[in-house]
Amino acid sequence: MKKNKSNPLFVELLIVVVALSILGFITYQQFALAEARSRDIQRKNDLNEISKAIRLYFADYGHLPSAVDSKKDPNINKTFGKPFVDDKDYVYMKQMPKENYLVNKPFCYLQNEASGSFTLYAQLEDKSDLQCKKEELSCGGVKYCYTYIVDANK
C-alpha cells in the first residue's frame, strides 16, 4: 500500500493565500475607517461654513434665521443643498452644503433666539471621534452625535 504524501508546494501556497487574505481584510478595514474620517472632517468643515453664513445673516438682520417655515426668514433646514438667500435676494451662500452620504441623517439647525445662539447637528461615522457624544441629541426627531454650537453675538 502506498501512502499519500501531501504536496509541500500546495501547503505553502495555501499558507500564502490565507496570509494575504488576512492582510487584505485588515487593509480594507483601515481604508474604510480613513474614508469615514475624511467624510467626518468634511461634515465639520461644512457646518463651519454654514455657521459663517448664518452669522452674516444675523449681522444684517439682528436675529437668527428660522428653523421652521416663516414668511420673513428662510427656513435653514429646508435650505441645505440650495441657495441661502434672504427676501431681498441677497445671497449668503450660493449653495448650502448638505449631507450626501448619510441620507437619513441630514444636517439640522436649531436656534435659541433668547441667547442669540444656534446649534448645527450632524452625524459622525467614526464613533471613536472625541467630539461624537455618547449620548445622542435630537433635532427634528432625528438623533445626532455631533453638535456645533455658535454664539451669533461673537
Grid coordinates standing for 59? 449681522
- What does the pLDDT look like over 99-128, one tens digit per residue? 989 988 999 999 987 888 999 999 999 988
Give the residue carrying C-alpha cell 449668503.
92
Q: Is the dihedral of CA 86, 87, 89, 95 positive or negative?
A: positive
Does 59 have pLDDT greater than 80? Answer: yes
- What does the pLDDT look like over 16-54, one tens digit per residue? 888 888 888 888 888 988 999 999 999 999 999 999 999
